A and B are shown apart, each in its own frame.
Chain A
Amino acid sequence: DAKTTQPPSMDCAEGRAANLPCNHSTISGNEYVYWYRQIHSQGPQYIIHGLKNNETNEMASLIITEDRKSSTLILPHATLRDTAVYYCIAAGGTSYGKLTFGQGTILTVHP
């Protein structure tokens, strides 16, 4: 799996967009970018994933650069309940199903 790099922590004001960056400069052509989050000590929750096109669902948007070396997860209107650890993971091909979690980004949403 390609290694990903994320900032250890970020802050965001409630109601504003939260933009969480991820660097995956060694990602291979068949690896997807996945985003998960973990609220307090609960099990991780899948958010979104993409290969090379930008993706959007009811939770978030994923913007992947054209060279696929980095991506940004966007929570368009952050709420206090979005405070969590966010993990960016590159996986696919022969490593499909084997997720490698790094330290993630602790996102704190302030009132």
Chain B
Amino acid sequence: NAGVTQTPKFQVLKTGQSMTLQCAQDMNHEYMSWYRQDPGMGLRLIHYSVGAGITDQGEVPNGYNVSRSTTEDFPLRLLSAAPSQTSVYFCASTPVGLHYGYTFGSGTRLTVV
């Protein structure tokens, strides 16, 4: 049982490049979310999903796309990286129906130069 796995752990991008942050969970959780955390700040919700095929926007969705083709995976795509997207990105998952807490991944530290 690996929990929530995020790859890569570190990434440096040039402005304008695109990339996909991977997130996978093996707990059969329906809910999955992406957050970003800027230095000295709390986490902000980017996108979330309540199940395969269903996604919705969070607080700061601009510049990011998501899809949920399977229960296990919830990738986050940066379309055209900007320095303002330099941040630590966390993926999280939780079961639906019962009020459990979210399980978070260890994060991806992204720097856009």
* Residues of chain A at the chain B interface (Cβ within 8 Å): 32, 34, 36, 41-49, 51, 87, 92, 96-104
Check if B107 sits within 8 Å of A41, measured CB to CB: yes
Complex Cα distance, B51 from A20, in Å, reads 34
Q: Which residues of A contact B45 (CB under 8 A)?
A: 98-100
Q: Which residues of B contact A49 (CB under 8 A)?
A: 99, 101
Best-buried of A32, A44, A47, A102 by chain B (most CB within 10 Å): A44
Is the contact region of chain A dominated by helix, strand, or loop, or is it mixed?
A: loop
User: Per a CB cutoff under 8 Å, which of B50, B94, B99, B107 touches A43?
Assistant: B107
* Residues of chain B at the chain A interface (Cβ within 8 Å): 4, 31, 33, 35, 41-45, 48, 50, 58-59, 88, 90, 92, 94, 96, 99-107
Check if A104 sits within 8 Å of B42, measured CB to CB: yes
Complex Cα distance, B99 from A97, in Å, reads 9
Closest-by-CB residue of A relative to B103 is A46
Q: Which residues of A contact B44 (CB under 8 A)?
A: 101
User: Per a CB cutoff under 8 Å, which of A42, A48, A97, A99 touches B107?
Assistant: A42
Q: Which residues of A contact B33 (CB under 8 A)?
A: 97-99
Complex Cα distance, B104 from A6, in Å, reads 22
